[in-house]
Amino acid sequence: MNDHDTGPMKSEADEAILGSHVNTDDSSESSSGTPLPLATCVRWMVLGEKTVAGLFLLVIVSTMAAQVVARYVFDAPFQWSEEVARLALIWMTFISAAFVMAEGRHIAVDVISSRVGDRGKLFIECMSYVVIAASCLLLLIGGANFVWYVGKVGSPALGVPKSWWYGAGMMGLLLMAAHSLVNLVQVWMTGKPIPRETHVEEEAFQLEMEQSE
């Protein structure tokens, strides 16, 4: 295919990308005009979770860097660096899962809601929040006894109780359940699905791939 053949296709892709930017800006402006209930609470929760997750990431990077320097420069590796990095990674993973849940960025398969009307989409979204919250709370209640039981055992290097390790999952489940319930309240009070950010870059890339074929 020569350059003359790809010219119109590129122009169409550029127009589509520009249109998607305009639509995204319009939707954000309309949604910002009427803030959702409990939006401030969700914003502060997400900010706190991202801050904590960032601190855990900083601990992982600094611990691994210190271990490399101690091992290869001073020939005196730390015995506790791996446990600290692993513990921080576990907590960062479950804390990150909470704010990813709040932003609606978990992997989802959209098969039914795209083929039903507005009331059907609203019902499916409410049911999804109920199922997620109930599942997280059931796992939280069921795992509480186990976390309490393993608290008597300490880690080999640091001696940190195992409850601190498994407690990260409990905290993640609690936060995800809280976000699901807050989302359910927002949908119930507004009567509309929660607006999400449009991933313009992914849509533009997919459009260019389809047109290049």
Angle at 39 between CA 116 and CA 98, to 5 degrees: 75
pLDDT for 196 equals: 63
Token readout for 70 is: 């101690």
Contacts of 53 by beta carbon, 8 Å cutoff, 6+ apart: 92, 95, 96, 99
The whole-angstrom separation of Cα 80 and Cα 86 is 10
pLDDT for 155 equals: 76
DSSP-assigned beta bridge partners for residue 154:
161
Token readout for 109 is: 């398969």
Token readout for 4 is: 């003359």
pLDDT for 126 equals: 85
- In DSSP notation, 52-83 reads HHHHHHHHHHHHHHHHHHHHHTSS---SSHHH
Q: Within a domain: residue 169?
A: yes
Residue type, 34: T
**Structural domain tally of the chain?**
1
Q: Do the Cβ atoms of 198 and 27 come closer than 8 Å?
A: yes
The whole-angstrom separation of Cα 146 and Cα 177 is 19
Q: Within a domain: residue 41?
A: yes
| Unique residue bearing structure tokens 């590796």 | 77
pLDDT for 176 equals: 92
Q: Within a domain: residue 106?
A: yes
Q: Do the Cβ atoms of 101 and 179 come closer than 8 Å?
A: yes
pLDDT for 206 equals: 56
Q: Within a domain: residue 173?
A: yes
Instruction: Count CB atoms within 10 A of the CB of residue 126.
Output: 15
Domain with 188, as residue range(s), is 34-195
Per-position pLDDT tens, the chain of length 213? 444 444 444 444 455 444 444 443 433 333 445 677 777 888 898 999 999 999 999 999 999 999 999 888 888 888 888 889 999 999 999 999 999 888 877 777 777 777 777 788 888 888 888 998 999 999 988 888 888 887 777 777 777 888 888 888 999 999 999 998 988 888 887 777 676 665 444 555 555 655 665
| Unique residue bearing structure tokens 């960062």 | 92
Give the burial class of 33: count Cβ atoms within 10 A of its Cβ; 0-12 exposed, 13-18 middle, 19 or more buried: exposed
